[in-house]
Structure 1
């Protein structure tokens, strides 16, 4: 995929935009489909255009400072100039400069941010567009900070929860492979020298060693190929992504973690968008865009169709069959009391608590389970090695 810089006229003003396409003709076609008046279309070489991602920490800090400067009375361009001067990070400084250039070329504030390296979500871009229309720039940028903080908090909580079980499982797997490949062979030669019938456990261990010794690197390569192809297919093919996400939601325990995490994220963003003054349908639409699981996203999109058919919000949520009865009840109360934004935040906290509770249960069970598993593994290896040794000792004693 190549990168092209498009110069075009918008309302009589020259503007620029980045287009990703396979070749120049495809890039030109994409520009024409958007009814853009092309002035110039040039390919950007890798050395002149590089991809980088602004960290969440830098993202939050930038928007906090931006909001503060706007609240202090500075214009957008003045605030950007101050932030560019004070920034010590090259990537952030370059991004701020890009936004400044985009604005000077006549792009709107939302377009200028969209064409930068901030990688804003649909909901965050919707808020910036709202800021353009209402003039509440400082307030809106504070809301963007809150959305990103909630997303970051949810990700950190989820990552922290699964880190320990993953480390333990990987450690056990590596230890088992090491023992099979480097300890068992030391005894294999000894057992081969004695004409004795080996116990079943020892035979299983030796056969496992023979298999891994012959095919270990092939298995390793196949695993890496499978993982690589899975990632490529997941990113490139929508149907594969949809089926994979559906499969993840069928795995016991993991499915609940995914569901609670996505619902927490959805209602957090939904609540903040409603508080920012966005209409119900638009808030739903932009909150749905932030959901990563494609199967859940499809389910949530059905809510918009059901609302268009005239159904009440609580009934629309009930029909998609992915929310708890308590949540449906709270939504019903919210619509009657006109406090949907507040109760949506409470629903988000409800799902956050459920996610934390299930992780606590998993962690409370995983430690004894891992201990038992390691004990069984050690016993298996000990019996597999020492039973033949005892047999050899009995033969010699006799």
Structure 2
């Protein structure tokens, strides 16, 4: 979310309202919907200090006490809500029923809150906005779409399909990373034990040499000294760095843009982020287009589900280009978002008048590419793991044996 200051004219007097929105268009739409007055100007501003402190508090709380959302149960609850809504059962009764039967505490809490909000005349999207930290902006966007079009049941079922796709990708990624993470964790643990309990014994022996120790040995002794004397401080610093990163990532657009750009440029991580994000973007864009939503609105809503600000910026440029009279294919090509295969699909769809079908094919193509990358992730990481483990073993071997060789030479002399 970004922060916007909107100047309005109400009863002859100028007022300024601060609100959160994904972009300037959404900020204006929010105020128009509330009928607050005549909008004069809307501009993005830096996050106010009070909001920064609130965000910092949320991040610190989430780091240590954050509730975890059970995504399979959340998806099941959304699918039930969609089916009950399409069956013309009241939204309040549907929410109460799902909350009563849910065994996940966070899902139960969310749907109970939604039932109370609806009973008090608020919209369902109001509750999802409050729980956006857990469910993401996709849920908010899809519920708002359903409320806007009057097809809430369809929107909820589409949202469940999208979340199932996201959860499937997440599980594939976790499965691919499980072996490398277990291996590296075991190696790091073994290395730490050796540093803490083995190196000190050799350090006492090496200190009797009264000569300058080799660099690998000095590194090991230095690591042991830091862990023994400043271990807790080092851990605290790492936690502070982690919290600071999350804080600036959520409140500073320049910092977020830089990190997101770096992520896209990384050799292994970049393609995963790009294909996963664009596959999800195309999937939502396809469903919105099929639902008859105007292209600009569909692009704006679909852009709201992207977490990467570099891709966000490119889609915003696409929207500007279309507003200036360019077609979708040229706008996407100009901003270098999709590859040539996908662009040809979309171009053919625009020419033949079946854009939604071609967008669906493009989404499937990106999902397939993502699956290929995930399937080959283990093979891609394996050489890095071997190199890393080899470097640790070499450091230990050289750090311990080089001085011992020097001692043997001195004894023979």
Q: Same fold (TM over 0.5)?
A: yes
Note the C-alpha offset of 1:305: 0.3
Note the C-alpha offset of 1:272: 2.1
Rounded to whole Å, the distance in 2 between the matches of 1:311 and 1:152 is 35
What SS does the aligned partner of 1:310 have? coil
Q: How does 1:147-296 map to 2 (within 5 A)?
A: 147-194=162-209, 201-206=216-221, 209-210=224-225, 216-296=231-311
Note the C-alpha offset of 1:290: 0.3
What SS does the aligned partner of 2:336 have? coil
For the pair shown, the structure with the greater C-alpha radius of gyration is 1
Matched, 1:352 2:385: no
Over residues 162-210 of structure 1, what are the superposed CA-to-partner deviations in whole Å (9 max), with x where a residue is unaligned?
Answer: 4443443444344334323321221121222345675554455445545
Over residues 90-110 of structure 1, what are the superposed CA-to-partner deviations in whole Å (9 max), with x where a residue is unaligned?
Answer: 544443333333333333454
Q: Any conservation in 1 of the 2:132–2:140 contact (CA below 8 Å)?
A: no
311, 314, 318: which one aligns with 1:299: 314
More divergent stretch after superposition (124-133 vs 277-286): 124-133
Q: Aligned pair in 2 of structure 1 residues 159, 292: CA closer, same or farther (>3 Å)?
A: farther
Tell me, which stretches of 5 or more residues in structure 1 are unaligned?
1-18, 21-29, 38-49
Q: Aligned pair in 2 of structure 1 residues 332, 210: CA closer, same or farther (>3 Å)?
A: same
What SS does the aligned partner of 2:265 have? coil
| Number of matched pairs | 358
Q: How does 1:117-132 map to 2 (within 5 A)?
A: 124-132=139-147
Q: Aligned pair in 2 of structure 1 residues 124, 282: CA closer, same or farther (>3 Å)?
A: farther
Q: What TM-score, normalized by structure 2, do the two folds share?
A: 0.73
Over residues 14-69 of structure 1, what are the superposed CA-to-partner deviations in whole Å (9 max), with x where a residue is unaligned?
Answer: xxxxx99xxxxxxxxx99x96679xxxxxxxxxxxx99675322321122222333
What SS does the aligned partner of 1:323 have? coil
Note the C-alpha offset of 1:112: 6.1
Matched, 1:374 2:397: no
Q: What TM-score, normalized by structure 1, do the two folds share?
A: 0.75
Note the C-alpha offset of 1:226: 1.8
| Aligned equivalent of 1:101 | 116
What SS does the aligned partner of 1:252 have? coil
Q: Aligned pair in 2 of structure 1 residues 113, 390: CA closer, same or farther (>3 Å)?
A: closer
More divergent stretch after superposition (313-322 vs 358-367): 358-367
Tell me, which stretches of 5 or more residues in structure 2 are unaligned?
1-18, 21-29, 38-64
Rounded to whole Å, the distance in 1 between the matches of 2:149 and 2:399 is 75
Q: Any conservation in 1 of the 2:172–2:374 contact (CA below 8 Å)?
A: no
Q: Aligned pair in 2 of structure 1 residues 300, 165: CA closer, same or farther (>3 Å)?
A: farther
More divergent stretch after superposition (127-136 vs 217-226): 127-136
Q: Aligned pair in 2 of structure 1 residues 167, 392: CA closer, same or farther (>3 Å)?
A: same
Q: Aligned pair in 2 of structure 1 residues 277, 160: CA closer, same or farther (>3 Å)?
A: farther
Rounded to whole Å, the distance in 1 between the matches of 2:101 and 2:215 is 71
| Aligned equivalent of 2:341 | 326
Question: What's the C-alpha RMSD, in Å, of the aligned pairs?
Answer: 3.6
